[in-house]
Amino acid sequence: MIIGCPKEVKTREYRAGLVPGGVQALATRGHTVLVEKGAGLGSGIGDESYVKAGAQIVDSGREVWQRAQMIVKVKEPSEAEYGLMQEGQTIYTYFHLAAVPALAKALLDKKIAAVAYETIQTEDGQLPLLKPMSEVAGRMAVQVGAVMLEKEHGGKGILLSGVPGVRRGRVVILGGGTVGTNAAKLASGMGAETVILDVSTSRLA
Domain limits, the chain: 2-119, 131-204
Looking at the chain, the whole-number percentage of residues with pLDDT higher than 90 is 98
Give the Cα separation of 92 and 13 in Å (integer).
Answer: 17
Q: Are 176 and 186 in contact (CB under 8 A)?
A: no
pLDDT at 203: 84
- In tens, the pLDDT along 165-205 reads 999 999 999 999 999 999 999 999 999 999 999 999 888 87
Helices 131-148, 178-189: crossing angle, 10 deg rounding? 40
- Supply the CATH classification number for the domain 2-119: 3.40.50.720
pLDDT at 202: 86
Mean pLDDT calculated for residue range 41-58: 99
Mean pLDDT calculated for residue range 132-156: 97
pLDDT at 112: 98
pLDDT at 60: 98
131-204 fold: Rossmann fold (3.40.50)
Q: How far is CA 78 from CA 56, 73, 185, 202, in A?
A: 24, 11, 34, 39
Band the pLDDT of 134: cuts 50, 70, 90. very high
pTM of the predicted protein model: 0.86
Scored b (16 or more CB within 10 A) or e, 91-111 reads bbbebebeebeebeebbeebe
SS3 128: coil
Give the Cα separation of 176 and 167 in Å (integer).
Answer: 25
pLDDT at 28: 98
Based on the number of CB atoms within 10 Å of its own CB, is 122 exposed (0-12), middle (13-18) or buried (19 or more)? exposed
Give the Cα separation of 197 and 172 in Å (integer).
Answer: 7
Residue 6 has pLDDT above 90, yes or no: yes
Question: DSSP secondary structure string, 13-74?
Answer: ----S--HHHHHHHHTTT-EEEEETTTTGGGT--HHHHHHHTPEEES-HHHHHHH-SEEE-S
pLDDT at 204: 84
Note whether 2-119 and 131-204 share their fold.
Answer: yes
Mean pLDDT calculated for residue range 119-145: 96
| Contacts of residue 101, Cβ cutoff 8 Å, sequence gap at least 6 | none
Mean pLDDT calculated for residue range 72-88: 97
